[in-house]
Amino acid sequence: MKNPHKALIALGSNLGDSEGIIQQAFQALECLTQGAISRSSLWKTEPVDCPEGSPCFVNAAMSFEVSTDTRPEDFLRKLLAIESDLGRERSVVINEPRVIDIDLICLGSIRMDSPFLTLPHPRAHTRPFVLAPLAEIEPDFSFPGFHATATELLKDLPSEEGCVPYTKTQP
C-alpha cells in the first residue's frame, strides 16, 4: 500500500450476541485494508452516559493501515454502512442500547472538526472502554494533539473500574 496511515477504530455492542457481532464487525472491517491489522481482545464495560437499565457493553479496538488518499468522511460512511449491515438502527435516543457501535477514533494524524466528523474522536482520550483495548494493541499511540500515549492516558484516568477483560462466563 502506497503511503499508508493508521486507522484506529473502537467497537461496542450491548444488544444481542455482542461477542459474535464484534467478531463479525472485525471481519467486515478487515475488508477496508490490505495492510497490517491489529485486534484487541474483548472487554466488558459498564455503560457510560446511557439510559438507566442499559446492559453492559462488550468493547474492542482495531487498528489497520489505509491509504493517505482515504477521505475521512468517506471512510466514516463505510463504517456506518457496516453498522447498518450488522443491524444497527439509529434513533433520537442518545447512547441507547445498540447491536453495534463502530467509532472512528483517529485516521493518521488528521485533525478536523465538522458537523459530520471530529478527529481525533473528541472523548476517546477520557474513556476507559476505548483506551483499555487501544492500549492493548497500540500502547505507544498518541492522539494527534496529545503527548501522552494511550497507556499513559489510561493510567491517568480517575478509575478504570467498570472495564475488565471479557470472558464468556460473564452475564
| 97-122 tens-digit pLDDT | 899 999 999 999 999 999 999 999 99
At residue 169, does pLDDT exceed 60? Answer: no
**Which residues, in sequence order, are bridge partners of residue 107?**
7
Closest of 48, 45, 84, 81 to residue 61, by C-alpha? 45
What are 76-91's pLDDT values in tens digits? Answer: 999 999 999 999 988 7
Distance CA(7)–CA(150), nearest Å, equals: 15
With beta carbons less than 8 A apart as the criterion, state whether 136 and 166 touch. Answer: no
% of residues, the chain, pLDDT over 90:
73
Coil, strand or helix at 142: coil
Number of C-alpha atoms within 13 angstroms, CB side, residue 106?
Answer: 24
Banded pLDDT at 123 (limits 50, 70, 90): very high
Percentage of residues in the chain with pLDDT exceeding 70?
94
What lies within 8 Å, CB to CB, of 47 at 6+ separation is: 14, 54, 55, 56, 57, 95
Cell of 149: 500515549
Give pLDDT, residue 9.
98
CA–CA distance, 98 with 110 (Å, rounded to integer): 28
- Amino acid identity for residue 31 in this structure: C
What is the 3-class SS of 34-84, one letter each residue?
CCCEEECCCEEECCCCCCCCCCCEEEEEEEEEEECCCCHHHHHHHHHHHHH
For the segment 112-133, the average pLDDT, to the nearest whole number, is 94
pLDDT at 163 exceeding the cut of 90: no
Give the pLDDT confidence score for residue 105 in this predicted structure. Answer: 97
Compute the Cα dihedral for 90, 161, 55, 64 and give only its sign: positive
Average pLDDT over residues 135-140: 96
Report the amino acid identity of residue 67.
Answer: S
